[in-house]
């Protein structure tokens, strides 16, 4: 994983703290500590940005996601593979994070709030959440349960070949429950402003290369992000 991606992961998870009420919070000891932690991981060789190695063979941990039930169950069924929450920078558990490609909201200035709310309720209905046109995980609990069981059935009936052979019914049930537990521990994550992220990454590179101190970089990020937010 490149250092910039590590910083992106942190900012995406902690954006509420970094930009609060329209104000930047980068000129802080806690943010400088994160930058120092990231740099030390690469300086000490614990992480590498080199993709020349096969990550499945050379790494103890790799970054991965659970994009939809079918592929997630197949991943969980691989021998010796286990999903764990990515460690946090402050050592406090934050739950599993999630992201979405499609977001809906109702403007406070809308003249048709009730109609907009009816549309959102329709989109969240079991009928719509079961639509094959929607990828990922349904937000409707009944639709999610149905999709999980459909994926379990396909694997159990051998419709999806597995390198390790056909799993037992008990193993399938266990991994379906594991996936349910992960989904049940999801925490709301605010999507970071990509412009703010790009500013931070641009300045962060000067710290990683040793051209600037962590104090200089955090202040530069603070000033540039503040200017952007005030525009």
pLDDT digits (tens, 9 = 90+) for 90-135: 777 666 777 777 788 899 999 999 999 999 999 999 999 998 888 8
Mean pLDDT of 21-28: 94
CA distance 13 to 17: 9
CA distance 119 to 104: 10
DSSP conformation class of 30: H
Asked if residue 34 is part of any domain, the answer here is yes
Asked if residue 51 is part of any domain, the answer here is yes
Using CB atoms within 10 A of its CB, is residue 184 exposed (0-12), middle (13-18) or buried (19+)?
exposed
Asked if residue 136 is part of any domain, the answer here is no
Residue 230 has a pLDDT of 92
Instruction: Copy the structure tokens of residue 166.
Output: 């056909």
Instruction: Pick the range with the lowest mean pLDDT from 6-10, 104-108, 159-163, 209-213.
Output: 159-163
Instruction: Give yes or no for residue 52 having a pLDDT over 70.
Output: no
Q: Which residues have C-beta within 8 Å of that of residue 89, sequence separation ≥ 6?
A: 10, 14, 33, 34, 37
Asked if residue 205 is part of any domain, the answer here is yes
Residue 57 has a pLDDT of 58
Residues 77-89 pLDDT 10s: 887 777 777 777 7
Asked if residue 77 is part of any domain, the answer here is no
CA distance 11 to 190: 10
Residues 186-220 pLDDT 10s: 876 667 899 999 999 999 999 999 999 999 999 99
Q: What are phi and psi of 186, to 5 degrees?
A: -70, 145
Cα first-last separation, the chain: 33
For residue 202, the enclosing domain spans: 3-63+190-230
Asked if residue 142 is part of any domain, the answer here is no
CA distance 42 to 61: 15
Domain count, the chain: 1
Beta bridge partners of 24: 19
Global pTM reads: 0.70
């Amino acid at each position: 994983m490149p250092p910039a991606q590590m910083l992106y992961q942190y900012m995406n998870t902690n954006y509420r703290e970094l930009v609060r009420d329209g104000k930047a919070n980068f000129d802080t000891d806690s943010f400088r500590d994160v930058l120092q932690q990231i740099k030390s991981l690469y300086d000490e060789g614990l992480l590498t940005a080199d993709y020349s190695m096969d990550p499945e063979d050379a790494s103890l941990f790799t970054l991965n996601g659970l994009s939809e039930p079918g592929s997630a169950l197949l991943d969980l069924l691989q021998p010796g593979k286990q999903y764990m929450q990515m460690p946090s920078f402050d050592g406090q558990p934050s739950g599993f994070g999630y992201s979405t490609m499609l977001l809906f909201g109702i403007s406070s200035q809308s003249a048709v709030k009730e109609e907009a709310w009816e549309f959102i309720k329709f989109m969240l209905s079991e009928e719509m959440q079961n639509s094959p046109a929607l990828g990922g995980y349904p937000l409707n609990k009944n639709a999610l349960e149905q999709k999980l069981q459909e994926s379990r059935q396909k694997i159990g009936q051998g419709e999806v070949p597995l390198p390790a052979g056909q799993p037992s019914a008990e193993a399938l049930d266990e991994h379906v429950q594991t996936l349910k537990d992960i989904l049940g521990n999801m925490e709301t994550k605010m999507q970071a402003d990509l412009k703010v992220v790009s500013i931070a990454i641009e300045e962060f590179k000067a710290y990683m290369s040793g051209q600037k101190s962590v104090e200089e970089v955090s202040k530069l990020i603070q000033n540039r992000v503040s200017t952007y937010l005030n525009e």
